[in-house]
Every structure is written in structure tokens, then in C-alpha cells.
A and B are shown apart, each in its own frame.
Chain A
Amino acid sequence: GQNIDQPTEMTATEGAIVQINCTYQTSGFNGLFWYQQHAGEAPTFLSYNVLDGLEEKGRFSSFLSRSKGYSYLLLKELQMKDSASYLCALPPSGYSTLTFGKGTMLLVSP
């Protein structure tokens, strides 16, 4: 099976940098996704990591360490609109399906 762990909530101020961590266990690693979900809306895709290291995409970057079962999402120059839930997810592996973590609710304050 697959298991994902994320912090429940985080707070940060506008303009700051925040790092959202995700640890996982899986029997067969096929990459790791990050999704953003605003309240009452559907999740939207942010990033996909399959190799170790940091991948940068504008203000958002995602890091992966396969040996440690660890990933983080780095958000720079925070804006109020970044207040949302950030979901870590594992693609299907073996008999496991697409598996989501419970999400980290990020609140950005002025």
C-alpha cells in the first residue's frame, strides 16, 4: 500500500517563503505529485517529481529525495491567493491507486 504524511496547517506572511513537507511510504515509487486546492474548488496540478532534486517552476519549486521518502513544495514571494490546501499525491503502483495525502492548509496573512 501507500501512505502519505503532511502537516495539517501552516501560516506565513505575504512576500515570505514557505516550505511544505511531505513524507511517504510506497511499495513501488512512480513519482510524486503536488496539487493545489482552493476552498470549495477542485485540485489543480502543480508539479510532478520522479528524480531526486529540485524542480523550479516560477514561484513554486518541488524537491524530492527518494532514499528518504521525502518531498517538499517551496513557495516564494507568497501572495494572498496562495492561501489554499496543498496536497501531496502518489501515482498508482501495483495494486495501489492514485493516493492523496490529507493536505496542508496554508494561510497567507498580510
Chain B
Amino acid sequence: DGGITQSPKYLFRKEGQNVTLSCEQNLNHDAMYWYRQDPGQGLRLIYYSQIVNDFQKGDIAEGYSVSREKKESFPLTVTSAQKNPTAFYLCASSIGGMNTEAFFGQGTRLTVV
């Protein structure tokens, strides 16, 4: 079955540690996105990639980094520079054209203690 997979679903890290969230899709989608969602808030765009080996900062990129070495994969690293990393992180992919329905992974809930 085609889909988009995020792992793990729950992640705990100590303050000051970098952590990488995985996102893999087998939908052959060109575009991939990382969103952050805080309680009672909408989705805020962290980074996005329209094509392999290219990515752009979203609205809240500070303290995060990404890579897009393969079409299927778009990992997100939450660095120690991110002041408030505890949140629900959602990865999405879309064909990349104008009628771009987004498909979401199950999300990763990151808790930094």
C-alpha cells in the first residue's frame, strides 16, 4: 500500500540533544513538508521541499534542519537551538502540482525533558 510513514510516534529527548524525525513516502510525490502543531494551534510550516536536493525554509525554520537526498525521504532534525521543541510534528507529501491534496503521516509527538 502506498502511503507516508513517520517514525517514531512518540519520542522523548533530553534538553540539549539533537533529534531526527523520520518521514518516508512511497507515493512518488515530489513535494514534501514538515509542520509543527502546538495545542490549540494550526499547522505551522517548518520546511518544505519541492524536488530532490532542494528545500526551502517555512515560517518557523529556526532551530530545525532538513535534507532531501532521496525523493522518498525527508528527515527533520530538531537541534538544541530550537527553544521550545516539545510539539506534535507532521510530515506531508503532495504531487506538487496545483491540485495538491496533501497526504499526512501519523505524526510524531516529541517531548523534550
Contacts and interface: CB of A to CB of B under 8 A. Distances in A.
Interface of A: 30-31, 33, 35, 40-45, 48, 50, 87, 89, 91-93, 97-103, 105
Contacts of A41: 106-107
B99 A44 contact: no
A97 B35 CA distance: 12
Interface residues of B, number: 27
B105 A42 contact: yes
B104 interface: yes
A70 B105 CA distance: 29
Contact of B42 (A33, A48, A101): A101
**Would you call the interface of chain A mostly helix, strand, loop, or mixed?**
loop
B74 interface: no
A40 B42 contact: no
Contact of A98 (B33, B40, B41, B88): B33
B102 A98 contact: yes
Nearest to A42: B104
Interface centre among A35, A40, A93, A97 (most CB of B within 10 A): A97
B58 to A, nearest CB: 7
30 contacts: A31-B98, A40-B88, A40-B107, A40-B109, A41-B106, A41-B107, A42-B90, A42-B104, A42-B105, A42-B106, A43-B90, A43-B104, A44-B104, A48-B99, A48-B101, A50-B99, A87-B42, A89-B102, A92-B98, A97-B45, A97-B48, A98-B31, A98-B33, A98-B48, A98-B100, A98-B102, A99-B45, A101-B42, A102-B41, A103-B43
Interface centre among A35, A42, A102, A105 (most CB of B within 10 A): A42
Contacts of A33: 101-102
A43 B42 CA distance: 11
Nearest to B44: A100
A87 B43 CA distance: 9
